[in-house]
């Protein structure tokens, strides 16, 4: 790739995406438009992220997030 | 007397996601007029109040033994509500309003009164009532009532099944549709023996087979719908004089099995710090453990 680094960007909520990246591996609480989700933030992608509760992954669309708390 | 076994009738799935409003709907199958608390208490009082238990022993044995099964159904529906009731709150300090999502759920008692577990009431939060018990003392009238009660219970189960696809709720309803079908048939056969009238010809009511429901089909295939248990070590044997012949739904022989089904483990529940339940922190637990182990 000509020595260039590929950078993923989020088309919406880019700063949420950026902020979530700093919380990977930490316990978080997410208030979604439906229910709250509390667990370990496993990974973050431009349009979704993965929270694991008791070894069960939940794939959450960033657009459905109201707030996130590192707790 | 009753002897308690620390098992649940079936193995309930416990996914890591819940649906508080589905749990609220399932409450109807617990403490509604046609819920399991009603079937339990109807047969329980009818068995207590039964006149000429010796002369009419097969009928007494039927009502008395099914009472014990209904106790297990109350336990099963309560555990289902407890497992479905998750995912509304989060753990945080009180000032962060960790129960704020509960304001928008149907059953606020579940959050305020029972720490997100079952309530002895119906899907609208009404308390279960003693006047749901019908115990007239007339054997045929009581059996006819029980036949009607079981059909009403089946109808409500079908409708709650249509309200939620939560796997825990559906597993429970699938199983209870089959067991409820057994009780409908048992009371129909009791009425036939008592009166000569064959009510099985009008079954099923509502007019669709249990096999229409994905989660009931497995239990139908296992033959769960052909067995009546005595729920006792030696007593209530004369249900054999009623539960005999073949099942009109599938043509298979009806079987009386002494004792109880094998059962499955009782689900446990995580602590819920935002509800202060059970409210025993590590320090207190260590003190309790010390007292429990002292002077043994």
From chain B, pick out residues whose CB is under 8 angstroms from the CB of A37: 87, 90
From chain B, pick out residues whose CB is under 8 angstroms from the CB of A29: 90-92
Sequence-distant (6+) residues with CB within 8 A of B128 are B30, B31, B32, B35, B37, B38, B120, B121, B122
Cβ distance of A36 and B15 shorter than 8 Å: no
Closest CA to B158 of B146, B145, B174, B181: B174
Sequence-distant (6+) residues with CB within 8 A of A40 are A25, A26, A27, A28, A51, A52, A53
With an 8 Å Cβ cutoff, is B200 touching chain A? no
| C-alpha–C-alpha distance, residues B233 and B218, integer Å | 28
With an 8 Å Cβ cutoff, is B48 touching chain A? no
From chain B, pick out residues whose CB is under 8 angstroms from the CB of A36: 87-90, 101
| Mean pLDDT across B102-110 | 97
Contact indicator for B66, B190 with CB cutoff of 8 Å: no
Reported as a single tens digit per residue, the pLDDT across B1-59 is 999 999 999 999 999 999 999 999 999 999 999 999 999 999 999 999 999 999 999 99
- Tell me B268's DSSP state: P
Cβ-based contacts under 8 A for chains A and B: 29
Q: Please report the sign of the dihedral spanned by the C-alpha atoms of residue A62, residue B87, residue B34, residue B36.
A: positive
Identify the pLDDT of residue A8.
77
| C-alpha–C-alpha distance, residues A21 and A49, integer Å | 9
With an 8 Å Cβ cutoff, is A10 touching chain B? no
In order of start, what are the domains of chain B with their CATH numbers?
Answer: 20-270 (1.20.1260.10)
| Mean pLDDT across B136-149 | 98
From chain A, pick out residues whose CB is under 8 angstroms from the CB of B17: 35, 58
Sequence-distant (6+) residues with CB within 8 A of B141 are none
Residue entry with tokens 């014990």: B68
Identify the pLDDT of residue A27.
97
Q: Give me the residue from B16, B89, B90 closest to A56, CB to CB.
A: B16
Cβ distance of A58 and B17 shorter than 8 Å: yes
Identify the pLDDT of residue B156.
98
Reported as a single tens digit per residue, the pLDDT across B161-216 is 999 999 999 999 999 999 999 999 999 999 999 999 999 999 999 999 999 999 99
Decide if pLDDT at B108 tops 90: yes
| C-alpha–C-alpha distance, residues B202 and B205, integer Å | 7
With an 8 Å Cβ cutoff, is B104 touching chain A? no
Decide if pLDDT at A1 tops 70: no
Beta strands in chain B (DSSP E): 227-229, 255-257
**From A35, which residue of chain B is nearest by alpha-carbon distance?**
B88
Kindly state the helix (H) or strand (E) to which residue B185 belongs, with its residue range. Answer: helix B167-195
pLDDT band at A21 (very low <50, low <70, confident <90, very high): very high
In order of start, what are the domains of chain A with their CATH numbers?
Answer: 14-69 (2.30.30.100)
With an 8 Å Cβ cutoff, is B41 touching chain A? no
| Mean pLDDT across A12-26 | 94
Contact indicator for B154, B177 with CB cutoff of 8 Å: yes
Reported as a single tens digit per residue, the pLDDT across B44-99 is 999 999 999 999 999 999 999 999 999 999 999 999 999 999 999 999 999 999 99
Query: Would you give the end-to-end CA distance of chain B in angstroms?
Result: 30
**From A69, which residue of chain B is nearest by alpha-carbon distance?**
B92
With an 8 Å Cβ cutoff, is B101 touching chain A? yes
| C-alpha–C-alpha distance, residues B180 and B176, integer Å | 6
Residue B85 distance to chain A (closest CA, Å): 12
Residue entry with tokens 């305020």: B112
pLDDT band at B296 (very low <50, low <70, confident <90, very high): confident
pLDDT band at A2 (very low <50, low <70, confident <90, very high): low
Cβ distance of B16 and A53 shorter than 8 Å: yes
With an 8 Å Cβ cutoff, is A70 touching chain B? no
Tokens of B165: 């696809």
Reported as a single tens digit per residue, the pLDDT across B220-257 is 999 999 999 999 999 999 999 999 999 999 999 999 99
């Amino acid at each position: 790739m000509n020595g260039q680094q590929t950078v993923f960007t989020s088309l919406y909520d880019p700063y949420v995406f950026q902020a979530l990246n700093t919380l990977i591996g930490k316990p978080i609480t997410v208030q979604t438009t439906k229910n709250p989700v509390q667990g370990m933030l496993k990974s973050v992608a431009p349009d979704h992220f993965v929270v694991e509760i008791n070894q069960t992954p939940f794939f959450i669309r960033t657009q459905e997030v109201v707030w996130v708390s590192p707790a | 007397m009753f002897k308690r076994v620390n098992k649940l009738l079936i193995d309930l799935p416990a996914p890591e996601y819940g649906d508080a409003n589905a749990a609220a709907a399932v409450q109807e199958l617990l403490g509604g007029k046609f819920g399991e608390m009603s079937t339990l208490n109807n047969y329980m009082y009818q068995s207590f109040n039964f006149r000429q238990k010796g002369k009419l022993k097969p009928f007494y044995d039927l009502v008395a033994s099914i009472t014990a099964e209904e106790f297990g159904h109350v336990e099963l529906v309560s555990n289902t509500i407890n497992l479905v009731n998750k995912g509304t709150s989060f753990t945080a300090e009180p000032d962060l309003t960790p129960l704020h999502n509960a304001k928008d759920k149907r059953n606020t008692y579940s959050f305020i009164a029972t720490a997100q577990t079952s309530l002895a009431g119906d899907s609208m939060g009404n308390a279960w009532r003693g006047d749901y018990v019908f115990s007239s003392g007339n054997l045929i009238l009581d059996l006819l009532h029980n036949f009607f009660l079981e059909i009403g219970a089946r109808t409500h189960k079908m409708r709650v099944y249509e309200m939620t696809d939560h796997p825990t709720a559906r597993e429970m309803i699938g199983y209870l549709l089959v067991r409820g079908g057994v009780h409908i048939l048992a009371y129909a056969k009791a009425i036939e023996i008592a009166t000569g009238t064959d009510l099985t010809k009008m079954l099923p009511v509502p007019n669709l087979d249990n096999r229409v429901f994905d989660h009931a089909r497995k239990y139908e295939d296992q033959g769960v719908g052909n067995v009546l248990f005595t729920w006792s070590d030696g007593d209530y044997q004369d249900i054999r004089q009623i539960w005999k012949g073949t099942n009109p739904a599938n043509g298979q022989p009806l079987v009386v099995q002494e004792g109880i089904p094998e059962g499955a483990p009782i689900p446990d529940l995580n602590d819920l710090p935002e509800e202060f339940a059970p409210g025993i922190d590590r320090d207190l637990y260590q003190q309790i453990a010390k007292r429990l182990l002292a002077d043994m």
